[in-house]
């Protein structure tokens, strides 16, 4: 049987519909949820991601301003911009697109962002709150994955969730979210990573697999059990003859997986649109919190 396609596009539309009233209420108080985006360097993929994010801000009547720096910018200049944005009450959220050039200490940059404006949820304060089961800002991609589970009535409780990847952006926070003792969670979560021997030993036992290691077509049908659910966070560029010159492919081999799995997120149109919808939602939350 063909697997169910878990459409992040569809779920994101329901997120935007639910946000509409909240945005209208804020606007009636003359508050436009606003995001400052910092992008450093010429990385083509980062530029596309940032454009996709800011496009949804304007589509939904929110404001965003993108500040672009050349790749040789110093850490000091970047830090002083963040300190300035922390104080600027026009902006409810600050996002520094990652990765940053090697000469810049990413942790120092993230630490400098006011946790109240950290709509990415990457600041150690926000990651700590999440780990303690009292989240304030939840990182956008993991939050979006949980929303996909909720939308499609996928129960996590009692299931074995295998996360492949341990980054602070996806793997670590989704491993926390899927194992918290709360509604729509309560799973038994295993994290696999570059130090794991024989990752397929774990993925073959999984009810739900979350692929977040950035490795083109890594997971094959042979690596999963019949009926598993696969969430594919990978976005890899493969050159082709299309006008763009490339297509996007996930970390899962969709062809062989589709013969085994019961449900799977597509790439593109799966997790990607949810990351952006959750960024919009987190920015609306940040704006609402300035009210209380
Ligand atoms: N790079 C890849 N994903 C993300 C994300 O969600 N936020 C930021 N700031 N950078 C990223």
Question: What CATH architecture applies to the domain 140-272?
Answer: 3-Layer(aba) Sandwich (3.40)
Does 259 have pLDDT greater than 80?
yes
Q: What is the mean pLDDT of residues 19-35?
A: 98
- Atom from ligand 1 closest to the CA of residue 139: 6
- For 3, the token pair is 């697997």
| Ligand 1 pocket by Cβ (under 6 Å) | 95-98, 120, 140-141, 169, 275
Active site residues: 53, 97, 120
Q: How confident is the model at residue 1 (pLDDT cuts 50, 70, 90)?
A: confident
- Which residue of 8, 37, 49 sits with most ligand 1 atoms within 8 Å of its CB, as the best mutation to test the pocket? 49
Q: What is the mean pLDDT of residues 161-182?
A: 97
The arrangement of strands across the sheet holding 188-192 comes to 4-5, 263-264, 229-232, 208-211, 160-164, 188-192
Q: Comparing 28-119 with 140-272, is the CATH topology the same?
A: yes
Produce one character per residue of 109-137: b if its CB has 16 or more CB atoms within 10 Å, e if not.
bbebbbbbbbbbbbbebbbebbeeeebbb
Ligand 1 centroid distance, CA of 97 (Å): 5
Ligand 1 centroid distance, CA of 169 (Å): 7
Does 138 have pLDDT greater than 90?
yes
pTM over 0.85: yes
CB atoms within 10 A of CB 94: 25
* pLDDT > 70: percent of the chain: 100
pLDDT tens-place string over residues 41-97: 999 999 999 999 999 999 999 999 999 999 999 999 999 999 999 999 999 999 999
pLDDT tens-place string over residues 193-231: 999 999 999 999 999 999 999 999 999 999 999 999 999
Annotation: CATH topology of 28-119? Rossmann fold (3.40.50)
Which of 205, 207, 257 is closest to 232 using CA atoms? 257
* pLDDT > 90: percent of the chain: 98
d(CA 262, CA 164): 19
Ligand 1, atom 9: closest residue by C-alpha: 97
d(CA 282, CA 280): 6
Average pLDDT score, the chain? 97
- For 113, the token pair is 């962002």
Q: What is the mean pLDDT of residues 108-137?
A: 98
Does 292 have pLDDT greater than 80?
no
Where along the chain do its domains lie? 28-119, 140-272
- Which residue of 51, 120, 142 sits with most ligand 1 atoms within 8 Å of its CB, as the best mutation to test the pocket? 120
CB atoms within 10 A of CB 227: 12
Q: Are 248 and 268 in contact (CB under 8 A)?
A: yes
Cβ contacts of residue 239 below 8 Å, gap of 6+?
245, 246
d(CA 180, CA 55): 33
């Amino acid at each position: 049987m063909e697997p169910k396609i878990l459409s992040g596009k569809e779920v994101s539309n329901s997120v935007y519909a639910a946000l509409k009233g909240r945005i209208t209420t804020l606007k009636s108080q003359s508050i436009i949820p606003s995001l400052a985006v910092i992008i450093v360097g010429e990385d083509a993929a980062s530029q596309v991601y940032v454009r996709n994010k800011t496009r949804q801000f304007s589509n939904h009547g929110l404001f965003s301003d993108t500040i672009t720096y050349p790749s040789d910018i110093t850490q000091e200049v970047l830090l002083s911009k963040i300190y300035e944005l922390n104080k600027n009450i026009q902006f409810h959220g600050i996002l520094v697109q990652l990765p940053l050039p090697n000469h810049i200490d990413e942790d120092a940059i993230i630490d400098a962002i006011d946790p109240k404006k950290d709509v990415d949820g990457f600041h150690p304060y926000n990651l700590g709150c999440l780990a303690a089961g009292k989240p304030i800002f939840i990182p956008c991609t993991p939050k979006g994955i949980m929303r996909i589970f909720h939308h499609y009535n996928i129960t996590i409780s009692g299931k074995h969730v295998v996360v492949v990847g341990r980054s602070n952006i996806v793997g670590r926070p989704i491993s926390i979210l899927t194992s918290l003792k709360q509604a729509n969670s309560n799973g038994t979560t295993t994290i696999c990573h570059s130090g794991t021997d024989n990752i397929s030993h774990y993925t073959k036992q999984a009810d739900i697999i979350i692929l977040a290691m950035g490795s083109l077509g890594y997971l094959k049908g042979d690596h999963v059990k019949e009926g598993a659910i696969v969430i594919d966070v990978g976005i890899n560029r493969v050159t082709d003859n299309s006008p763009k010159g490339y297509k996007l492919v996930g970390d899962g081999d969709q062809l062989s997986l589709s013969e085994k799995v019961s449900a799977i997120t597509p790439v593109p149109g799966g997790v990607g649109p949810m990351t952006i919808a959750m960024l919009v939602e987190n920015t609306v939350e940040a704006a609402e919190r300035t009210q209380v």
